[in-house]
Structure 1
């Protein structure tokens, strides 16, 4: 059910509650910084990471597995002879830190024989000794396993009671204890927490053997266990449309079973042009693929082409200062400080303090996402703070920030948005998708589809996917609900690079309408 990479080695659950020793980490960092300088490095940064993961996995009335893992080590990155070098060690000792630094310098010097231009870093002041922690109300790693199992089995029972034939559910919990130090004078300690509850419900038509599924409408979040204490906040004609700051997994499981069974008799969509009303639980993925990735500067420059290629949003479009990425209503921004988001941290893995900045303003492309060694290319005086590694053993590189669509400026509810639609489809939840090698032509599906006719929802649909290209799609944006409807979605496993790294990132929006989008029927006769 989950694409779960089990980093590191197994540990006892109570071992995850032992805090890292910040003073010891500073000692390790100084050992690495001194060793790198003595070998000729002109810049050094050190990352000491302790990465903790917990998985609790169930199916129907059974616990399938509980896993606790820890990965702990040191990564050192340097510039020597104008060239990057990186090395890592799982020997968490002053000697291990120094050895990693010396190896990183040796690698940089070897690489420099092929370097044509020296690395150019945007200025960055040192912050001294500082710390940052995800603002949590309840540390999920302190919650007893029994309480977590009871929650999951309770959700499974609700699904079975409401017509599910199969259901599996899981909790994925993350605590990253990250220490960063640099030759510029920063010693930054961060304690990052993330929570992801997931479920998948299957309903079967016993007569025909056909089946339908509905996955959870939860969002993975940068929060503690308090996220799982919520209630549904919004409904439209009986359809649960939103979970606010907190999520009720039992309620969602019960609704998922009913909706999966409802899909068995849903009308197959008639292909054609529709106005689409897209819930944030769906739109986050379209934002991710058609905005977040193509506005990563390394893709724009052609430095990165893994996982669906480069970008159509080339520098000449930005330099023109009038490239219409979307309609006048479209304002897209990057924000690494957004509370509750997966990407929220105080500082990135280059020691840059995180911030918010505009990518698309009133429909016009105005900026990209850049790191310290890219900022000068687009005339920026400082990094955007979006350089990360997924582990101490991986080198940090440019990663997507939380990229979101700003809510509408005028008061508008989902109900009132739907009242203005004559022929449309309301889509909830994310589904399968595809996008081309320049992040331009795409196709997206979802979890739930409802036909809108003359301003009212008239029933469920199935076999729905919409096709468009990035510029055409965002220019068809005609209405955005106000900030009272704003919600986050996101991904725990955003893949990029070679070797592949995964990062966690959120994307926010309010419910949004797009006019005249091409919808196809994905049904297949067997």
Structure 2
């Protein structure tokens, strides 16, 4: 399922029925989410059954992942609760190398007998596949971590918050939107807790407790006389945080351009819904954009999606090598460009990093699903492509001997593979605010929030829309615009980046359901940036037909 489909799901009474099965599991009562699950001592004993069985059958490497995945989703529309979903999924996945070849099997029978049978199956699969393997798997070395743990820095666990409190918040946001001119509104809360235990023959026993949350809504205003309607989506970002994200602390609010409220580290859903209704009404009578070249001022909630599609996906090494093409195609950022050492992906001020340790981000964990300690590394430095995203069995292909620590599986029932870490644009080094940026623009458009998007199968030519658009003339915002989308290619776009606001404006965008692979898996990833300016970008009018 595509990311944009999930935004639409929040308006469906049976929206939860369309969620990927991996995000569901067995339906349970809300109070069952509070169960502590399997004791860590038992997890270690069960994991050792898998590792010892694999080694006894000739495997040269094995890892076991015991996972308990807890999800809670709440859907509302106007003054009604449409659905409350609580699910749990629990099991173990075993991955092995035998005869130089990968094998994988999983089971929800987390007992000694169940684990032994699954491990035997994994080894048998590896040995059968080895008849067709041309080259043996080559793993980058990793230091065994021993017994360690990591946990998202949660101040308020969503499982401890009554469902009634969550419903009340959504309905208050809906009511605020309706009172301020919206005709329709739907809202949702997605909350996830991954309890993951990893063990490997390298000597790691890693226990992790990971939390994510995503509040969202869609507000629609209708002009019945003109037969028009406009919708404004939430300005929230999915976060790797607990329910404290919903507290809406005043100290965490930021002022965007045109009076837009933006949020960092906490989110005021009622305030955002209020402003959304007012802006949706304003959109009904806003001017339609005149096509042409504009300087674009892009705020982080918008720019994050552009980063995701034009930098995140094309620097995944499996796409670069042509091993992966599902969902997002391959990549124009081929090995020859990287090896040249001077490929200008962007202008000199463009510095993009991968970071699995960024607090509050969706991708933040202590260790990846191969037991590699997570880190931060450069993808683009001073505009030059300097690295990719790679895991233990890939880094040798780019002459490196250390995994980047970006391996992930969406559940215990899926084999882990390379997934996008947080990919972010570094903030500008010099003090520079949004107001200063607007004043420096003679003819431009300020774009906030995510919208429609399209990009080709090499992640090169693209078109992006947004949520709200404001025209800039002679250093001032003069009014709202409609029907805006911009077109460019990845290299041209990033080389047109001329200014980036400083760290005070830095915020995260997130993709809660990013799809990849066949069979498909989803993951969650954040993209940070400050508001940035891109000069002379081609803008089209999406409301006009030829």
Would you say same fold, with TM above 0.5?
Answer: yes
Q: Paired residue for 1:247?
A: 267
- Equivalent residue in structure 1 for 2:174, among 133, 148, 156: 156
Evaluate the alpha carbon distance shift between residue 65 and residue 236 of structure 1 in structure 2; reply closer, same or farther with a 3 A threshold.
Answer: closer
- Equivalent residue in structure 2 for 1:17, among 34, 58, 65: 34
Q: Paired residue for 2:321?
A: 301
Aligned-partner Cα distance in 2 for 1:237–1:188: 45
2:351 maps to 1:331? yes
Q: How far apart are residue 381 of structure 1 and its match?
A: 1.7
Aligned-partner Cα distance in 1 for 2:333–2:159: 42
Aligned 1:406-417 pairs, distance under 5 A = 406-417=426-437
2:505 maps to 1:490? no
Q: How far apart are residue 236 of structure 1 and its match?
A: 4.7
Q: Paired residue for 2:97?
A: 79
TM-score by length of 1: 0.99
Aligned-partner Cα distance in 2 for 1:136–1:238: 33
SS at match of 2:449: strand
Q: Paired residue for 1:96?
A: 114
Q: Paired residue for 2:19?
A: 4
2:130 maps to 1:115? no
The superposition leaves residues 128-157 of structure 1 with CA deviations (integer Å, 9 ceiling, x where unpaired) of 110000001000111001110110000000
2:226 maps to 1:208? yes
Q: Paired residue for 2:14?
A: none
Q: Are the equivalent residues in 1 in contact too, given 2:307–2:423 (CA < 8 A)?
A: yes
Q: How far apart are residue 12 of structure 1 and its match?
A: 1.2
2:143 maps to 1:125? yes
Q: Are the equivalent residues in 2 in contact too, given 1:51–1:71 (CA < 8 A)?
A: yes
- Equivalent residue in structure 1 for 2:372, among 343, 348, 352: 352
The superposition leaves residues 198-220 of structure 1 with CA deviations (integer Å, 9 ceiling, x where unpaired) of 10000000201210000100000
SS at match of 2:466: strand
The superposition leaves residues 410-435 of structure 1 with CA deviations (integer Å, 9 ceiling, x where unpaired) of 00000000100000000000011000
Aligned 1:214-293 pairs, distance under 5 A = 214-230=232-248, 231=250, 233-236=253-256, 238-293=258-313
The superposition leaves residues 372-420 of structure 1 with CA deviations (integer Å, 9 ceiling, x where unpaired) of 0001111212100011000110000000000000000000000000100
SS at match of 1:430: coil
SS at match of 1:293: helix
Q: Are the equivalent residues in 2 in contact too, given 1:389–1:397 (CA < 8 A)?
A: yes
Aligned residue pairs total 526
Aligned-partner Cα distance in 2 for 1:394–1:332: 30
Q: Paired residue for 1:405?
A: 425
Q: Paired residue for 2:458?
A: 438
2:492 maps to 1:472? yes
The superposition leaves residues 329-373 of structure 1 with CA deviations (integer Å, 9 ceiling, x where unpaired) of 000000000000000000000000000000000000000000000
- Equivalent residue in structure 2 for 1:33, among 44, 51, 57: 51
Q: Paired residue for 1:366?
A: 386
Aligned-partner Cα distance in 2 for 1:70–1:513: 44
Q: Are the equivalent residues in 2 in contact too, given 1:241–1:279 (CA < 8 A)?
A: no
The superposition leaves residues 233-253 of structure 1 with CA deviations (integer Å, 9 ceiling, x where unpaired) of 233565224212110000000
2:65 maps to 1:42? no
Aligned-partner Cα distance in 2 for 1:306–1:99: 32
Q: Are the equivalent residues in 1 in contact too, given 2:454–2:462 (CA < 8 A)?
A: yes
Q: Which runs of 5+ in 2 are unaligned?
A: 1-7, 10-17
Q: Are the equivalent residues in 2 in contact too, given 1:41–1:105 (CA < 8 A)?
A: yes
- Equivalent residue in structure 1 for 2:197, among 156, 162, 179: 179
SS at match of 1:114: coil
Q: Which runs of 5+ in 1 are unaligned?
A: none
Q: Are the equivalent residues in 2 in contact too, given 1:180–1:189 (CA < 8 A)?
A: yes
Aligned-partner Cα distance in 2 for 1:499–1:515: 40
Poorly superposed stretches of 4+, deviation over 3 Å: none
- Equivalent residue in structure 2 for 1:54, among 72, 89, 93: 72
Aligned 1:132-171 pairs, distance under 5 A = 132-171=150-189
Q: How far apart are residue 524 of structure 1 and its match?
A: 4.2
Q: Are the equivalent residues in 2 in contact too, given 1:222–1:341 (CA < 8 A)?
A: yes
Q: Are the equivalent residues in 2 in contact too, given 1:241–1:428 (CA < 8 A)?
A: no
Q: Paired residue for 1:193?
A: 211
SS at match of 1:97: helix
Q: Are the equivalent residues in 1 in contact too, given 2:313–2:328 (CA < 8 A)?
A: no
Q: How far apart are residue 472 of structure 1 and its match?
A: 0.2
SS at match of 1:95: helix
Q: Paired residue for 2:12?
A: none
Aligned-partner Cα distance in 1 for 2:368–2:330: 23
Q: How far apart are residue 294 of structure 1 and its match?
A: 0.2
TM-score by length of 2: 0.95
Q: Paired residue for 2:15?
A: none
